[in-house]
Amino acid sequence: MPETTEQKRRSILRRIESLEEAIDKATEYLETGKHAHWSGFRAMFVQKVRDGKELPPHKDWVKNVFLPRQEKALDREERLLERIGE
């Protein structure tokens, strides 16, 4: 069943909201250390553990890898929303 334009728009808006939330959490993590164990930062395969405790993500990884990817995805979604709105 083909999606209507309104369904596509709502889907894109939900993704944009999710990406903005992820960017906010990453920024807050870099500033204050809050959200260190947020599920969005979880390692894909194996968690890093030291002395039996799960380690938070490295701040350089969040700043240099996670944030740019999320911002790029947000930019793509916003451009897609503009194209659909035309």
Q: What is the pTM of this model?
A: 0.84
pLDDT band at 35 (very low <50, low <70, confident <90, very high): confident
| Neighbouring C-beta atoms of residue 74, cutoff 10 Å | 17
Question: Pairing mode, if any, of strands 53-54 and 49-50?
Answer: antiparallel
Q: CA 37, CA 33: separation in Å to the nearest integer?
A: 10
CB–CB of 6/64 below 8 Å? Answer: no
On the question of pLDDT at 43 being above 80, the answer is no
Question: For 37-57, what is the mean pLDDT?
Answer: 81
| 47 pLDDT more than 80 | no
Q: Give residue 86's pLDDT.
A: 66
Radius of gyration of the chain (CA): 16
Containing domain of residue 61, as a range? 5-85
| 70 or 84, greater pLDDT | 70
* Distance (Å) of CA 38 to CA 3, 34, 46, 61: 32, 9, 15, 15
Q: What's the pLDDT score for residue 45? A: 72
Q: Please tell me the total count of domains within the chain.
A: 1
